[in-house]
Amino acid sequence: MTDEVCIRIKADIDIMSARHASRTMAAEMGFSNLEMTLIATAISELTRNILQYAGHGEISICKVQQGNRKGMKVVVMDEGPGIPDIETAMHDGYSTSKGLGLGLPGSKRLMDEFSIVSKVGIGTTITMYKWVSNKGSGGEEW
């Protein structure tokens, strides 16, 4: 069982690998089918952002434990142009490219925790968490 996966994002096929990796890990951890889909969709959105705005970047997915709850931490990084105004970017409908402008605010809605650090000219790092919902039978120990 791997506790951390890192994937370089250079082409659209890497988006697929990232989604796959998140599903495999989420299934191991006892996430529900719905939760797996939510995570995979958020990853799909953000890795596509990388391709669209930065050209290339990296995603790391790892298992985390915080007290009694366990979850998945996803970090999406690029060294692209950065986002000048994060507050505006977090509003629905914002987009500088041909996208629908849902990437950032939409992904935030799919995950439990979401934070973003961006510097113009240096790059963007987004950190997200999803916790396994407490259902008594929270999957295997790891």
User: Taking contact as CB under 8 A, which single stretch among the options 9-17, 54-62, 72-80, 117-125 is the one that binds other proteins?
Assistant: 9-17
Q: How far apart are CA 49 and CA 36, in angstroms?
A: 20
Question: Does 85 engage in binding with other proteins (CB under 8 A)?
Answer: no
Local structure of 86: helix, strand or coil: helix
Pairing of strands 113-119, 123-131: antiparallel
The DSSP symbol for 47 reads H
| C-beta closer to other proteins: residue 82 or 101 | 101
> H-helix or E-strand containing 72?
strand 69-78
User: Taking contact as CB under 8 A, which single stretch among the options 56-64, 70-78, 82-90, 128-136 is the one that binds other proteins?
Assistant: 128-136
Pairing of strands 4-9, 57-66: antiparallel
The distance of closest approach from Cβ of residue 119 to other proteins in the complex, given in angstroms and rounded to an integer, is: 25
Task: Using CB under 8 A, list all residues that contact other proteins.
Answer: 12-13, 15-16, 19, 23, 33-34, 36-38, 40-42, 44-45, 48, 92, 99-100, 102-103, 105-107, 109-110, 134-137
